[in-house]
Structure 1
């Protein structure tokens, strides 16, 4: 997919994006820097953060890592998860982002989630002003439904700007984006940086019976110690799909995480899947997907592991 998202030096966006949600949290400073360097070593130039990640430490660390090569990387951050998308909140939150990143300019600013209590005109007029002032490049939205995106886009265009990039959830066990989001993105020219290609860690195989916990006995991962992730992925068929994925991966002598990421990346509507990890060792299988040659036959086998979501129309006889 072609996209207008480029580095300040004009280089195209890398095939994968790295999400820094764990910088300064489960990835300490040393591991965070090692992760950044591992990504750069294989050509990743797209890094994603948010004002709420590790109470701002993610932005602070990322800003330090990129300082010596700022023009060679694309930095995306997000506001609006806390406090909504009012003018005052966007401006105050974004000022905090710039201070922590130590940057005058951010390549992408996302609204982190839909705010039903603030008029879209207020939110996007504020984003347009930030663009005109040279403080942000592209505008993005995260966790919006397709109808919300198109409604927001109509407002943005009316204000002389536009949404360029979307950030939806997408994985083998979370395929809702296939119904309207991804077809819309391809039709309307949105770039897509989808998140959680490993289903919160479920698709790494570490939660299957008999599989070792790759993070150590003292840390069972988010599906065990995080209530939000337990609810999101606590569905029997999802865990069965993860076991089936692990079995298929063994048959092909490849890590299940590599297959899971490669499957997401193979979708024509995805610009850059957002991969993440807390250590370089944990990151390696996801990075391996950059060079993995996913055949059409294996892609079809992977797709068949999980239910295809129902189409948007009820006229199923015409699908």
Structure 2
């Protein structure tokens, strides 16, 4: 555990400011959130104390990075900025270098704090990927290397290759929420063992855990077939309804409770929150002021099935 805590505290901004306990994901910037709405959400995050912002080369055709770069310009050195490469085009050298240069230009950054490989590339040799990342880090173009959407075995394979270039994976992004707990089986224990900070995305389950869909609201689950399938199991909707009831009893917004629950896991450094407007963002930011006691954490945890351990020996769970 001490090794893991060291990994979390070493990730700082250029002026030494630590990462905040929540990360804002700018996936909506320039898309469902126009420039004014994006700016308002950025300002709300800063007012709440967030120092950690996440984007990607592919988000909204580059508008996300461009807008974020404009917003952070006056205070860049006190913030931690993450972006991602190689979602499209593979994790080969040329694609990584091109993506990084695009991202630096869009955000007007000399150095990118955290660069994620956006997803696993089964074709490109890991040696090519991590030699390229090692060169970027040695040149001072990136500060920390990270991975997103990797399985635990993929992280360990990549970590071994990275070590041959005097490099290590500092951070990773898995999906994690009350209705998506598969990361508890191997990813979160692996991250703790390896000293990798975990920054999980979708702590609200695509908005399911806010309770808005039960009220007839719209969002990704109603507009995107991928999200509809991802969160389409009946038990997930039952869990969301039960969470709304528990939240009401506790006097907490269900979105606040869902984010606070994800943040409570000892392997989690900073859940990624996002929204289309300041009003939609506010309950997630509210998790900053909520600390779940053991009783409430256990009560919320019991609302969804605990995944079996990796050995599938249920008596060991």
Band of TM-score, shorter chain? over 0.9
Change (3 A) 1:297 1:318: closer
Pairing of 1:53-72 with structure 2 (within 5 A): 53-72=59-78
Quickly say closer, same or farther: Cα 1:133–1:301, change in 2 above 3 A: same
TM-score for the superposition, normalised by structure 2: 0.96
- 2:204 pairs, out of 198, 222, 235, with 198
Show structure 1 runs of 4+ deviating over 2 A. Answer: 314-319
Report what 1:118 is aligned to: 124
Which structure 2 segments of 5+ residues have no match? none
List runs of 5+ in structure 1 lacking aligned partners: 214-219
3-state SS of 2:144 partner: strand
State the Cα distance separating 1:212 from its structure 2 match.
5.3
Distance 1:36 1:57, change over 3 A: same
User: How far apart, CA to CA, are the structure 2 residues paired with 1:252 and 1:315?
Assistant: 34
Superposed CA RMSD in Å reads 1.0
Q: Kindly tell me: are residues 60 and 318 of structure 1, through their superposed partners in 2, closer, same or farther at Cα, counting changes over 3 Å?
A: closer
Query: Alignment partner of 2:288: what SS?
Result: coil
Cα deviation code 1:125-171 (max 9, x no counterpart): 00000001110000000000000001000000111111100110100
Q: Does 1:227 align with 2:233?
A: no
Deviation of residue 293 (structure 1)? 2.7
Q: For residues 245-284 of structure 1, what are the structure 2 equivalents within 5 Å?
A: 245-284=243-282
1:151-230 pair list within 5 angstroms: 151-208=157-214, 211=215, 213=217, 220-230=218-228
Distance across 2 between alignment mates of 1:317 and 1:198: 30
Question: What TM-score results when the alignment is normalised by the length of structure 1?
Answer: 0.96
Output the CA distance in 2 between the equivalents of 1:81 and 1:104.
22
Query: Per the alignment, in what secondary structure is the counterpart of residue 122 of structure 2?
Result: coil
Q: Which has the higher helix share?
A: 2
